[in-house]
């Protein structure tokens, strides 16, 4: 079957197949559209008709189950949405459609810069850690060993609304580590990335994936394989992984010693000598990332989550040279004088304390309804920032508790930034209504109240939201009811806050550059 072949079938009265986009020994993958969700693009994977036996059906169904459960745990693992059997009794499963670039293509011609390497590797590690920590299957916690970690099984998506997001693909040969289960001993994997014990067909655990990760990290930084066999045969690779030591890093690469050490440790012949968990690797990666960000404040690549920035403001007081276009949005400058508007008639709610706080509210008047961000600051602080630029982002986590961090920052070079973060718990109706209002209107007002004179609004600004981000936010709200709520809102809040702290230097650099 050639790629690009059309197939107009509709599966399960829902998924319209469009064209073939991938084919291999295990099956075919089609691009399709989810008719129930208004034509959202999906990927549909079929088991090859040459493999339609009971054993392969079971394995295919298990692949879908593992991916579905892991996709709920981590945004860094491809998400499976549905499973079914077509009219020809061929099983298929439906997954998110990734319009990304394979890591193998990214590193095809040049090694990865340190900063981007740390950023991408951190996300890979987070996804691997989610798999290794296990999924609940039939009441039992089972670790998942991927068994085929390599660049072609990592996708990096360049999306202005999601940032550069990394996902691990293809759990087709993943292994469930179950207690008291009868284990088979056979080789599966890709020779260049296999651990010594994997070459032997031994029982595997997470440390085998760590070996593969070490090989891949070395390749990402050097474009070279750390271990090379004498020939491409299985026997030659077996000998290489067992007897050949990884080649040392070239001194001119300027790779931090702690990074070299952890990568080489990952490739230890004995699994007892490797890092015992991905968390050990993450600790090194995150420490180096913080150091790199301090040295290069603001220049890091998009973070591993979902984000947006405000669209261009059409205010007549903004000259074309007053706004700076950036990779994933725009920065807007407010007018140079306070605006006299009906917002000055709004009063500070009686149920809110008179102190420096930020909270969302939908404002209803006789003529309009709009979402707003209410802010209380010192009077002088408000006056200092009347001439300023503003920038916003929306960060989202669906697990362990669906929550959005709505970030607004007001900035000018004399007085610096004023950060205005606000958390929206999508399990509450009030927060859902705010997000719906934001996505439908595509803008919001920032209302400033002074501590010294809280009776009336002192100043207001408008921020607009890009139309594609509005569509994404609608999906967040629509899907939030199906997200598993583990009652860990504080965990999601902390994770979002951590991502916020990572983003701050980058945001500040962009804001500072807008005045140059």
- So which residues are the catalytic ones? 148
Report the DSSP beta bridge partners of residue 235: none
Q: What is the DSSP letter of 77?
A: B
Instruction: Specify the long-range contacts of residues 205-208, CB closer than 8 Å, at least 24 apart.
Output: 205/143, 205/145, 205/177, 205/271, 206/128, 206/132, 206/143, 206/145, 206/277, 206/278, 207/271, 207/274, 207/275, 207/276, 208/145, 208/147, 208/271
Total count of residues recorded for the chain: 516
Q: For the residues of 288-310, what is the DSSP string, one character each?
A: HHHHHHHHTTT-PPP-SS----B
Q: Is the dihedral of CA 329, 330, 331, 334 positive or negative?
A: negative
Q: Where are the beta strands (DSSP E) in 163-292?
A: 163-168, 175-177
Q: And the tokens for 407?
A: 């970030």
Laid out side by side, the sheet with 101-102 consists of 101-102, 154-159, 163-168
Q: Could you give the CA distance from residue 47 to residue 66 in angstroms, rounded to a whole number?
A: 16
DSSP for 459-505, written as a single string: EEEEEEB-HHHHHHHHHHHHHHTTS---S-HHHHHHHHHHHHHHHHH
Whole-angstrom distance, CA of residue 440 vs CA of residue 436: 6
What pairing do the DSSP bridges indicate for beta strands 140-145 and 10-11?
unpaired
Contact yes or no for 131/70 (Cβ under 8 A): yes
Inter-axis angle of helices 257-266 and 278-295, nearest 10: 160
- Left if phi > 0, otherwise alpha if psi is -120 to 50, otherwise beta: which for 327? alpha
| Distance in angstroms (rounded) separating the CA atoms of residues 506 and 35 | 39
Distance CA 406, CA 422 (A): 5
Which residue from 301, 70, 22 is spatially nearest to 167, judged by alpha carbons? 70
Spatial neighbors of 293 by CB under 8 A, at least 6 apart, are 300, 502, 505, 506
């Amino acid at each position: 079957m050639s790629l690009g072949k059309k197939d107009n079938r509709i599966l399960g009265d829902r998924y319209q197949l469009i064209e073939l986009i991938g084919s291999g020994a295990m099956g075919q993958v089609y691009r399709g559209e989810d008719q129930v969700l208004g034509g959202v693009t999906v990927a549909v994977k079929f088991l090859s008709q040459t493999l339609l036996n009971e054993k392969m059906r079971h394995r295919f169904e298990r692949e879908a189950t593992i991916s579905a459960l892991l996709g709920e745990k981590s945004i860094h693992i491809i998400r499976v949405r549905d499973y079914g059997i077509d009219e020809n009794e061929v099983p298929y499963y439906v997954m998110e459609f990734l319009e990304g670039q394979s890591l193998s293509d990214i590193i095809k011609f040049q090694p990865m810069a340190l900063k981007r390497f740390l950023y991408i590797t951190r996300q890979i590690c987070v996804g691997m850690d989610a798999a290794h920590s296990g999924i609940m299957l039939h009441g039992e916690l089972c670790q998942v060993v991927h068994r085929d970690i390599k660049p072609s099984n990592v996708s990096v998506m360049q999306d202005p609304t999601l940032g550069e997001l990394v996902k691990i693909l293809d759990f087709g040969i993943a292994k469930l580590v179950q207690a008291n289960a009868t284990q088979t001993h056979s080789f599966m994997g890709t020779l260049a990335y296999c651990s010594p014990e994997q070459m032997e067909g031994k029982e595997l655990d997470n440390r085998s994936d760590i070996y593969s990760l070490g090989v891949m990290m070395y390749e990402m930084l050097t474009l070279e394989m750390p271990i090379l066999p004498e020939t491409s045969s299985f026997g030659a690779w077996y000998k290489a992984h067992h007897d050949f030591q990884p080649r040392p890093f070239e001194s001119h690469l300027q790779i931090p010693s702690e990074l070299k050490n952890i990568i080489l440790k990952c490739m230890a012949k004995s699994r007892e000598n490797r890092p015992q968990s991905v968390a050990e690797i993450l600790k090194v990666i995150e420490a180096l990332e913080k150091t790199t960000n301090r040295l290069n404040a603001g220049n890091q690549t998009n973070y591993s989550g979902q984000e947006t920035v405000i669209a261009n403001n059409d205010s007549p007081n903004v000259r074309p040279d007053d706004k700076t276009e950036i990779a994933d949005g725009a920065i807007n400058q407010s007018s140079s004088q306070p605006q006299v508007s009906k917002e000055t008639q709004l009063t500070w709610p009686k149920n809110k304390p008179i102190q420096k706080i930020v909270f969302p509210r939908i404002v209803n008047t006789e003529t309009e309804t709009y979402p707003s961000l209410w802010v209380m600051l010192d009077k002088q602080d408000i006056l200092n920032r009347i001439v300023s630029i503003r920038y916003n982002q929306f960060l989202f986590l669906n697990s362990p508790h669906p929550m959005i961090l709505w970030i607004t920052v007001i900035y000018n070079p004399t007085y610096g930034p004023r950060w205005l973060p606000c958390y929206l718990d999508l399990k509450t109706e009030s927060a859902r209504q705010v997000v719906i209002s934001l996505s439908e209107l595509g803008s919001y007002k920032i209302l400033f109240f002074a501590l010294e004179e809280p009776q009336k609004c002192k100043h207001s600004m408008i921020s607009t939201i890009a139309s594609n981000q509005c569509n994404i936010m609608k999906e967040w709200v629509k899907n939030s009811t199906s997200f598993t709520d583990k009652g860990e809102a504080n965990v999601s809040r902390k994770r979002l806050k951590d991502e916020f702290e990572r983003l701050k230097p980058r945001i500040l650099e962009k804001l500072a550059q807008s005045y140059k």
